Amino acid sequence: MSDWSALHSVAERVAQLRQEIPDRTRIIAVTKTVPTHLMREAYAAGLRDFGESRIQEAAQKQQELADLTDVTWHFIGHLQQNKVKQALLQFQWIHSVDSLALAQRLNLLAADLKSPPKICLQVKLRDDPQKFGWNGKELLKDLAALYDCHRLEFKGLMTILPIDLSPSEQRVVFEETAAIAQHIRAHAITPLPLTELSMGMSDDYPLAIQAGSTMVRLGRIIFGERNNFFSQ
């Protein structure tokens, strides 16, 4: 692995990631808490996908960055029912759809949109009280009802690993996620076209890519530690 501490600028880090990450895997720059001047650096380095986890924070930044018209905005945080309308207006992708009730509400409120929202279903394949999402069995049980949400463009599965897994366990969970997506595409009675795998963050993205990730969500490895921004 490269020595990231030697790379100082966002541009250098993006260039390094580009070399490491295959073309089939899209880099989502996770910009929660990141100031917009650094987001502009990421944009200048060629990134066009920004991931945010708070509606309010994102709204502010979207206003400041309104001149960057070809950015795709990805919502990656836990979405509350009362924020669904706003999320649909601000984001083209929602990676963190973590319950049937949320999917159904998105489907209801998507009626007024020009283009359907792109959706990833969030799975949680290991117990983790900090995280939301379906386990494999629950997801298969809800599949028929999800299939009826015709206004949503189902794209893939998303997962966030628990923090305490060993690398070999991380690999297994990523591979299980890929296998569930494959099963739902190919063998389910109500198949969904889940071709995207939104998995891999700064600490685990190489393993996620080996397991077939198509979208890595990278924050700290591009922008540095999040708590450093307050001093800037």
Ligand X SMILES: *Cc1c(COP(=O)(O)O)cnc(C)c1O
User: Could you list the residues that contact ligand X (CB under 6 A)?
Assistant: 30, 32, 53, 76, 160, 201-203, 217-221
CB of 118 to ligand X, least distance (A): 16
Sign of CA dihedral 136, 139, 143, 148: negative
Nearer Cβ to ligand X (124/217): 217
> Which residue is closest to ligand X by CB?
219
Q: Are 181 and 103 in contact (CB under 8 A)?
A: no
Nearer Cβ to ligand X (148/167): 167
Nearer Cβ to ligand X (102/160): 160
Q: How far is CA 69 from CA 45, 47, 65, 82, 211, in A?
A: 16, 13, 8, 27, 33
Nearer Cβ to ligand X (185/220): 220
CB of 162 to ligand X, least distance (A): 13
CB of 95 to ligand X, least distance (A): 7
CB of 28 to ligand X, least distance (A): 8
Nearer Cβ to ligand X (106/215): 215
SS3 8: coil
First-last CA distance in the chain = 29
Chain centroid to CA 26: how far? 10
* Residue 110 to residue 117: CA distance in whole angstroms: 7
* Residue 172 to residue 113: CA distance in whole angstroms: 38
CB of 63 to ligand X, least distance (A): 22
